[in-house]
Structure 1
Amino acid sequence: MKVGYFLSCEEFGPAELVEQARLAEQAGFDSLWISDHFHPWNDAQGESPFVWSVIGAVSQVCSLPVTTAVTCPTVRLHPVIVAQAAATSATMLDGRFVLGVGSGEALNEHILGDPWPSADVRLEMLEEAVALIRKLWGGGFVTEYGHHYDVDHARIYTMPATPPPIYVSGFGPKATDLAARIGDGFIATMPDPELVGRFREASKGKPAVAGAKVAYADTEQQGVEIAHHLWANAGLPGELSQVLPSPVHFEQASTLVTEEMTRESVVAGRDVEAHLSQLREYADAGYDELNIANMGPHYREMIAFYASEVLPRFRNG
């Protein structure tokens, strides 16, 4: 399994993200993920730069492949605009780009005043959007009047030699089946072998990639405190993360997540075996690639720690 670094746009500004990309390549990470948000999950995270600008900057300092994890091409951004942005990113990265897409969260997508559709409708919109993006990448002018999207004489002029792959995220059976049907790969965040197996069987072996987080610190307790302060929202159950509309609502809901719950779910501190155990869990689940984000300010130390302690031991078995 390859190991990449996950650039978190919710927590870091553009300059820090570009620095992390450069350091990750120097440290020997295999790839980069980058999140695409309009809002952070809470005010403590405190950032949310425009992902396409950051990708352009990253392309000038780093030669690692980049995947958006994930872009929602259905509500806040029309799929025509996403098609153009992704094509430009793939061109700047000389083809080392994957457009990761998903059905999105109200947190980011409600901002223009559109109603937030049901999960089934969001998946329907995503399928239509992906088909439209691929059609635009096929060349020529596109005019189409679909169920959700209309396009009038649109053409993408700046294109890489080969259109980028589109990976589709899935957090349940319906989304996973959609990813297998329309995606070039699968994106998830849980080490769930049943979900990976479901995708692999339906897709006939297409790649499956994942993301996870750690909270590097001098001690486990310090890491837990950082993770709980910044990312308690990650412990919210069910569909809350898809339907809550603002960072304020996530802060309110996150009061239900205790520090002990965070401790049980997060790799914190600098114990090498704990970090290796998480990597192995995702490898055993069947993923081809895992991208690791660091929660909190110690990203330079985390990257150096992975370069010297974690990555060599994982790769040497």
Structure 2
Amino acid sequence: MNDLPKLKIVVLMGGWANERPVSLMSGNGVADALEARGHDVTRIDMDRQVAARIAEAAPDVVFNALHGVPGEDGTVQGMLDLMGVPYTHSGLATSVIAIDKELTKQALVPAGIPMPGGRIVESASLHERDPLPRPYVLKPVNEGSSVGVAIVTDESNYGNPIRADAEGPWQDFDQLLAEPFIRGLELTTAVIGDRALAVTELKPKSGFYDFDAKYTDGMTDHICPADIPDNIRDLCLDYALKAHRVLGCKGTSRTDYRWDDTLGEAGLFVLETNTQPGMTPLSLVPEQAKYCGMEYGDLVEAIVAEALRDHADKDTAGGQGE
């Protein structure tokens, strides 16, 4: 339990990113939990007047339940830093790096965290030639929740080369990250504070773990704890905590993996670290927290408590920066 006094808390949610519906589910779940604990909660659906609305609410802390741009990329973090308002989850610099998959690689790979190779490609070039041998993965550089991800195989209906009229992320983004496709299991590990919680295997009932599979009830089986060898479990926990620390994450993060089980430890690759994981009823962080004995309300209050401690530490150090 967190011995928090009664606080005025703004829960910031919604916005205009692709992940707006998920953010609204996360934010309302968080707000309900905080109200149940006796806090004075103001729910704000992000719009262009958000700074004035937060100032009017005069909160002790903002719970940032936004997903995607501009709530997860440093924009909102910079605004709140300028306002001097404490807020949950990662700060400006961490958010800028972690939402960019190429910058994340540049930070994590030198720290000994394995990630797939690959390169940034111009979307228009995909209609002339494949950037990598098939199968490979195409994904936006600055999106989360598997938004706009395509797996290109010899059997896919995208064509060879990819047709310009085929439905895919090349229609929405000028540049994409191309990575080799890693066969095997989809795994994920949540970190809260300075503790890696557990490893969950995600088994979509069809296709892969895309946006719909993540947020539609019944489309994905969560196996927690994952039925994997102890050494792979320990590696997942280690990589997740190391990524959290290297990137400078605060509150909670979630690191996602692919594991080619035919290759043992050499087949485990980090795909990304999410600095603002979902807090919906289907979300993985609350699920792993519950497995470790932490109820949803305790989890939410623990995230708030860390935000307040971090803000106090910054004030003691004489600045608002990270």
Higher strand proportion, which one? 2
User: Structure 2 length normalisation: TM-score?
Assistant: 0.28
Larger Rg: 2
